[in-house]
Amino acid sequence: MNRYFSLIPVVILITTACDQKAPQVTPLPRMVKAAEVAAVGDSQQRIFPARIESGDSTELSFKRGGQVESLDVRQGTNITQGQVLARLNAREAQQRVNERQTAATLAQRQFDRFQTLAGRQAISKAEMDVQRASRDSANAALKIAREELGQMTLNAPFSGVAASVPVRNHQVVAAGQTVVTLTRTDLLDVVFSIPENLFSAFDIRNAQYRPIVRINSLPDRQFTAQYKEHSGSSDNSSLTWQVILTMPRPADFPTVGGVSGTVTINLANLPANAGREAAGGAG
């Protein structure tokens, strides 16, 4: 009998444990990109974090391979449009130009003689056509040789700064290998992200509307920018679109890239429904 009474506490303990609910696990908060909403009179503004970078960058290279004979720039060098940046060893290319120039000169002289004979009706039209074809072929070969010689020199297509120079003098480079990365110094790119509902309503291609840009390193000033381009699709994790604006580069803008700042978009410039949705979504 005592054996049965001794089992009662065990049964009670098991029953009590079964009635207890399992502890609930609090889900981790979802990370989202934040934007500030500021009331300005009767209108509202959305302020988005932005990254301000140097404008268009172009990787410059030779169309032909060869050995670098002279490299006239270093990283950080200011460049003017048309400036010679680098040259390849062009001895063979120059020799081809000389040879084809000689051949073109001889072909022209031969054509001139036959043209004189044709005026006297001393040769047939067919013979004259052969000489004309020979002259044209020699001139075409000379043009190609001159173009090849011109490709041995790398010139700056626009003014800017040499952001990087990954090659050295006397190095052998392949056709298409980057020699200088040239970045524009007269323009800046303003990169930021906006939510889908605001992007679909915002008339980004409207040249009359220019969002306000503030640069953290120039806190007492504000600038206007205009639309340049945007990403082809929204980001799946944040449901935002990346937009790039362009603006003139201030004279005192830091030489380094990747400076932080903000973009202010006035909701009053959007359709009424879009403005209410954007303002409500921010709350």
Please report the domains of the chain, with CATH numbers, ordered by start residue: 36-56+184-282 (2.40.30.170), 59-89+152-181 (2.40.50.100), 90-151 (1.10.287.470)
Look at residue 229 in the predicted model and tell me its pLDDT. Answer: 86
Look at residue 39 in the predicted model and tell me its pLDDT. Answer: 47
Look at residue 7 in the predicted model and tell me its pLDDT. Answer: 47
Is-contact 214 262, C-beta < 8 A? Answer: yes
Q: Strands across the sheet with 160-164, in order?
A: 57-61, 178-183, 160-164, 78-79
Is-contact 112 105, C-beta < 8 A? Answer: no
Look at residue 112 in the predicted model and tell me its pLDDT. Answer: 94
Distance CA 187, CA 249 (A): 5
Look at residue 41 in the predicted model and tell me its pLDDT. Answer: 44
Residue 236 DSSP label: T
Q: CB within 8 A of 167, min separation 6: which ones?
A: 68, 71, 86, 173, 177, 178, 179
pLDDT per residue as tens digits for the range 170-179:
999 999 999 9
Is-contact 143 126, C-beta < 8 A? Answer: no
Regions of the chain with pLDDT less than 50: 2-18, 22, 30-32, 34-35, 37-42, 271-283
Look at residue 256 in the predicted model and tell me its pLDDT. Answer: 59
What mean pLDDT is reported for the chain?
Answer: 81
Look at residue 185 in the predicted model and tell me its pLDDT. Answer: 83
Look at residue 32 in the predicted model and tell me its pLDDT. Answer: 44
Look at residue 43 in the predicted model and tell me its pLDDT. Answer: 54
For 187-200, b/e burial (b = at least 16 CB within 10 A) is: ebbbbbbbbeebbe
pLDDT per residue as tens digits for the range 219-275:
889 999 988 888 777 777 777 888 999 999 888 887 656 789 999 887 765 544 444
Look at residue 238 in the predicted model and tell me its pLDDT. Answer: 77
Look at residue 50 in the predicted model and tell me its pLDDT. Answer: 95
Distance CA 134, CA 265 (A): 67
